[in-house]
Amino acid sequence: MTLPAPAPLALTMGEPAGIGAEIAAAAWRLLRATGPAFVLLDDAARIAALPGGCPVERVATPEDAARAFPQALPVLHRPLPAPAVPGRPDPANAPAVIAAIAEAVALAQAGRVAGLVTNPIQKATLYAAGFAHPGHTEYLAELAGTGRPPVMLLACPSLRVVPVTIHLPLRRAIETLTTGAIVETARITAEALRRDFGIARPRLALAGLNPHAGEDGTMGTEDAAIVAPAVAALRAEGIEARGPLPADTMFTPRARAGYDAALGMYHDQALIPIKTLDMDGGVNVTLGLSVVRTSPDHGTALDIAGTGRADPGSLVAALRLAAEIAANRARAA
C-alpha cells in the first residue's frame, strides 16, 4: 500500500522588494531532494528571472506541488501590480502581499496545505496601503483565530522564548501587563509544547519585569504583585513554572537546560536572547491559531535585497519546523 504524500506547505511572498524571493529559491535548492515540499504564492515571472536561475513550475493547485518539487520550485502564480525593485518597496504591491497571506491561511484551513510559512513583510509599506494590524501575528489571529490571544514563540535548537506583550511600546507594555495575561500566555505555550513539540511535561521559566526580578521590591513591585501570582496560579493548575527570575541570568547555558520555554514580559526581553544566540536559525511560530504558521526570525533586509547575500537558513528552519509541527498535530489528532 502506498501512502499519500503529505500536503505541501504554503510559502507567502512577503515584501516583494525584500529578500523573500531570493531565500525562497535558495531554500528550494537546499530542500528539493529531502523536503519538506512547499508551494510559493508569488509572481512566477519574477521568480524565474532571479539572478542565478531557478527552475519554476507554475502549478494550478497546491496538490501539484509535491510532484513538481524535486524538479522545480512550484509557484501559484499571483502577479504583482507593480514591478518589484530590490530595496524599494512599492505600496501598489501591498494588496498582493496581504492577499497571499489570506490565501495561504484559507488553503491551510481547508487542509490543502499542511501549514503556512510567511516571508517577512515591510509593515510601513502595508500601513501606507491601509493595513490596520500591527503585524503578521495580529492579522493571522483575525483570519485563523481560535478565540484565544495569539502567542508568538521564537524557537532555535538551544532556546524557545515567548513575549507576553508583543508589538507595544515599552511604556504601554508595562501598563497592560496583567497576571491574567501571563497565565493565559503560559497556558497556550504549555499546550503547544505538548501538542506541537511533543514535550509531555513542559517546563516554563518566567522572567521578572524589573532588574533582578524586583529585588524584594526595592526595584519595583510589579514582580511580586503581577508575575509571582501568575506563577502560583500556573503551578496550581499543574503546569511546571518557575519565576519571576532575573532576566540577566536566565539565558545562560546552564539556566536554559532547566526549562523548555522562557516567557519574557515584553518584546525585547524575549527576542534579544534568541536573536543573539541564533539570528540565522531562529523561527517565529504563532501559537493559538487554527493552522500551523511559522516564519523566518528576521526582516525584509532591504539593504541587501538583490545582492545574492541573503542567508536562507532561517527560512529553511521555518519550513522544517512547520512540517514537524504539522506532523505532531496529525499524530495527536
Same domain, 174 and 38: no
In a domain, 298, yes or no: no
Number of domain units in the chain: 2
Mean pLDDT of 190-208: 97
The CATH number given to whatever domain includes residue 82 is 3.40.718.10
Mean pLDDT of 202-213: 96
In tens, the pLDDT along 144-174 reads 989 888 899 999 999 999 999 988 899 999 9
What is the share, in percent, of the chain residues with pLDDT greater than 90? 83
Task: Give the per-residue pLDDT at 5.
Answer: 57
Is 298 annotated for ligand binding?
no
Using the 3D structure, point to which of 111, 145, 179 is the last residue of a domain: 145
Is 212 annotated for ligand binding?
yes
Same domain, 11 and 141: yes
How far is residue 298's CA from residue 63's CA, in Å, rounded to a whole number? 29
What Cα–Cα distance (Å) separates residue 24 from each residue in 36, 39, 298? Answer: 13, 10, 14
Confidence of residue 136 (pLDDT cuts 50, 70, 90): confident
DSSP state of 6: P
DSSP state of 214: G
Cis peptide bond prior to 244, omega within 30° of 0: yes
Same domain, 108 and 40: yes
Confidence of residue 118 (pLDDT cuts 50, 70, 90): very high
Mean of all residue pLDDT scores within the chain: 93
Same domain, 161 and 261: yes
How far is residue 117's CA from residue 40's CA, in Å, rounded to a whole number? 10
Is 123 annotated for ligand binding?
no
Task: Give the per-residue pLDDT at 4.
Answer: 47
Is 267 annotated for ligand binding?
yes
- 130-134, 239-243, 251-255 — which is least confidently predicted? 130-134
How far is residue 264's CA from residue 84's CA, in Å, rounded to a whole number? 37
Give the three cell numbers for residue 8: 505541501
DSSP state of 4: P
Same domain, 137 and 31: yes
Task: Give the per-residue pLDDT at 329.
Answer: 92
DSSP, collapsed to helix, strand or coil, labels residue 212 as: helix
In tens, the pLDDT along 21-68 reads 999 999 999 999 999 999 999 999 999 999 877 899 999 999 999 999
Same domain, 139 and 3: yes
Confidence of residue 183 (pLDDT cuts 50, 70, 90): very high
Strands lying side by side in the sheet with 283-287 = 56-58, 73-77, 38-42, 9-12, 116-117, 293-296, 283-287, 151-156, 159-163, 261-264, 203-207, 240-245
Is 275 annotated for ligand binding?
yes
Using the 3D structure, point to which of 129, 145, 161 is the last residue of a domain: 145
pTM exceeds 0.85: yes
What's the domain range around 252? 147-288
In a domain, 252, yes or no: yes
Is 88 annotated for ligand binding?
no
In tens, the pLDDT along 90-110 reads 999 999 999 999 999 999 999
Cis peptide bond prior to 36, omega within 30° of 0: yes
Task: Give the per-residue pLDDT at 275.
Answer: 92
Same domain, 102 and 199: no
Same domain, 85 and 171: no
Confidence of residue 274 (pLDDT cuts 50, 70, 90): very high
How far is residue 229's CA from residue 223's CA, in Å, rounded to a whole number? 9
Mean pLDDT of 5-27: 94
Using the 3D structure, point to which of 91, 114, 145 is the last residue of a domain: 145
